[in-house]
Structure 1
Amino acid sequence: MDGRPVLVCTEYEDATADLVIAELNRRRVPVLRFDPGRDFPTPMVLAARTGAGGWGGRLTVGERTADLSAVRALYHRRPSPYPTGSGEQAARFAAQENRRGLGGVLGALPGCLYLSHPQAIARAEYKPAQLAAATRVGLMVPATLITNDPGEAKAFCAEHPTIYKPLHAGAYDVAGEPAGIWAAPVEAGEIDAAVTHSAHLFQAQVPKVADVRAVVVGEQVFSARITAPPGVVDWRAEYQNLTYEPITCPDGTHGALLRFLAAFGLHFGAFDFAMTADGAWWFLECNPNGQWAWLEDAAGLPITTAIADLLENGASQHE
């Protein structure tokens, strides 16, 4: 590939990455797209060598090859996980070697901007770390309890209106059909011994009038007010009945979001806030690799352009 390429690491079907790749193609920025969980070790070929300037060599996918020492940016979107190799011992060994070999090289490229670094994304996915960081940078955080003690949960729910939300939005099925576990109100009388089975997150319910999704790209913040039908606690359960409008991020919040991302070493974050009648934004969570394409269309936010700018400019604009 001629020129300094952008590597796009994502699954085969990723309409969000498609938007960014199309914009980079329009700008004639070379792009090498792959899904390490499905493409390595075939058809991908890795030949990486150490040198004075760090890792060099080549990464080949099909008929396209990238010079590892010249990668300007890596866009870590939604790659498939490396196969676990749950069968025989040799397969398990190979799977771990692939993840640590290819993944290790891709995470240590010289002069490369990461949007964002896979290890930084992994660290930032822990909600307790997010809530602590949000408090440190000056964001307003609702009172929160994480426990497996039913007595503690009952006492917390008795203090104020409370919602329960999962600590991780993983895959979940109901009667064989994919389903989401949404944030939902919970009262003290509903708490029972089932709480002992795992950690639970309980949070004081914010008397919100709307929600806000703030997407941060580099140092730019794109915010949309999301209005759901009355009584809806988790707007994600009502996608068909939402209205969107762009909203300006308060100056103090803007700076806090940048400090939050810097604390985790991120260049991107999709933040969720509850907005009260007085216009205050209460931090709920940050998805360090969240979706944004639907919001770009719904609220008219130029997020694709901002991401393409960051990837095209690479590490030079952050030196």
Structure 2
Amino acid sequence: MPPTEDIYGHCDDVVPLSNVQQLANAVRTMLRNGIINNANRVLLDPIDPYAGTPVPYLPNLRDLLRRTTGTDDLASVTEVKLRVISRDAGLQHLSVHTPNLRELTLDGSVVSSLRDLGCRLHSLKVLKVNRCKLKCLDGLNGLRNIEKLYAANNKLTDLTPCTSLEFVRHIDCAGNLIDDFNVVSFLVLCGTLQHLVLEENVGLTGNPNYRAEVRRYIPQLVTLDGIEYLDPPGRPHYSLPGRGENNENENTDELPDNANEDLPTAPAQSSSNSGITSALADPETLASASGSNNGCYTVSFGPKVLSPRNGNSSSSSSADCQVTTRRLPKK
């Protein structure tokens, strides 16, 4: 049989590939001659019909980071760009190899969950997971120091996990499946959020009042989809519970320093079967009764029990009930 062409490179002996066993022998020959090295391992099982198929060499995460960043000093690396399958790459060990990582780009990777990143990337400020086939943002509670989140062109329907980001200023969730303004309303809990991108979420942008609705739910926004609001940003609604615009600077929630001290009570007023004493009707009487009790008034009245049949009421003079009300002095 005439020798075949250089299918496997320059070998000492050219072996016809008539069966699987001869294929395995040919591969062994190439290994001996250094044509195939350990970086391109092959299957040598003569029973396997796919014997001789190259198997790519999968480096560990440390080797991958060294190759990507071009340095062996991974502790000094602050920015990393990878395109990997998160579970296979072992990204949960990123915090071990790159403790000072500040920006991580995984655009185009396969990320099943942000939990694959672990929970110890305390220095991470910018996370980019665009086009990663993400269906949820679970795992953000382990990345609390993120200031910019880019998660465009995924399959997200819920933004609630973003509320765990205490310092986030920019969120980009364009091109997802968000269609409910109630989902967006949770972002009001991100008190530092200023820039939000929700374009190409048809369920939201199709609303004619889209920009007004988002601003109503998140008043602290400065820009939406890269377009700045004309009116200045407001405060989140949750930060001013029960307060109006005119008294937002009043410290009505603060108590005086002596609020927890034991306050003396005035002598109990005599009670009658008719209910509360007449002292309640006269503020001056209450003030004189309390004396210097620092705004603490005590009134007493006899308990009243109604009969379920005849409606008659009876009171017990032996047991008086005391009710104490406090009026805090104005500052």
TM-score tier by shorter-chain length is: under 0.3
Q: TM-score, normalised by structure 2?
A: 0.22
Higher strand share: 1
Name the one with the larger helix percent.
Answer: 1
How does the TM-score come out when normalised to structure 1?
0.23
